[in-house]
Amino acid sequence: MVKRVGFGKAACPVARALDVIGDWWSLLIIRDAFEGVRRFSEFQAGLGIAKGMLATRLRDLTERGVLETAPASDGSAYREYVLTEKGRGLFLVIVALRQWGEDYLYRPDENRSALVDTATGIPVARIALHSAEGRSLTWAETRVRKAGDDRVGAGKAPGAGIPASR
């Protein structure tokens, strides 16, 4: 069996993030935690995940600081899993995955859930990337500045010359 290589020390922040949350069960657990699921049995019933797999994922997410355990809110002897500040920082990741799924994985006539503003019940606006000055940006108008590279806008952006379809 090949040992999985970790990305915890990688130079790329995407690789480091995937080292923590890069499997589907972890992302679905985090999604459910945002929706108010807190107990092992609730995660297990909602996801249909094997108990051993769930225990491993919850332990990993807790050890990595995405979740923490807390006494049950109803005063029972159970422990509950709650998002930490680091875990709550994944909200836009979950929203971006939701919006991507809505855009590309449903037929136009297919029924789907919607993320809505709790105050109004109206669907939330799409996530968009903006410059520090407030200008809307596409992927073709950005580039990754590597650590130690102090040049501003130096060189072509990675998407330069590639037509944007959306």
Residues 33-75: pLDDT tens digits? Answer: 999 999 999 999 999 999 999 999 999 999 999 999 999 988 8
Angle at the Cα of 34 (from 6 to 18), degrees rounded to 5? 15
pTM beyond 0.85, yes or no: no
pLDDT band of residue 116 (cuts 50, 70, 90) is very high
- Which has the higher per-residue pLDDT, 15 or 68? 68
Q: Give the three-class secondary structure for 95.
A: helix
Give all domains of the chain, ordered by start, each with its CATH number. Answer: 13-88 (1.10.10.10), 93-141 (no CATH)
CA angle centred on 52, ends 50 and 56, rounded to 5°: 115
- Contact in structure between 82 and 68 (CB atoms under 8 Å): yes
- In whole numbers, what is the pLDDT of the chain averaged over residues? 89
* Residue of 19, 20, 48, 17 lying closest to 32 (CA atoms): 48
Angle at 73 between CA 67 and CA 79, to 5 degrees: 50
pLDDT at 1 over 70: no
The whole-number pLDDT of residue 155 equals: 52
Asked whether residue 84 carries a pLDDT value surpassing 80, the answer given is: yes
Reported as a single tens digit per residue, the pLDDT across 131-152 is 999 999 999 999 998 887 776 6
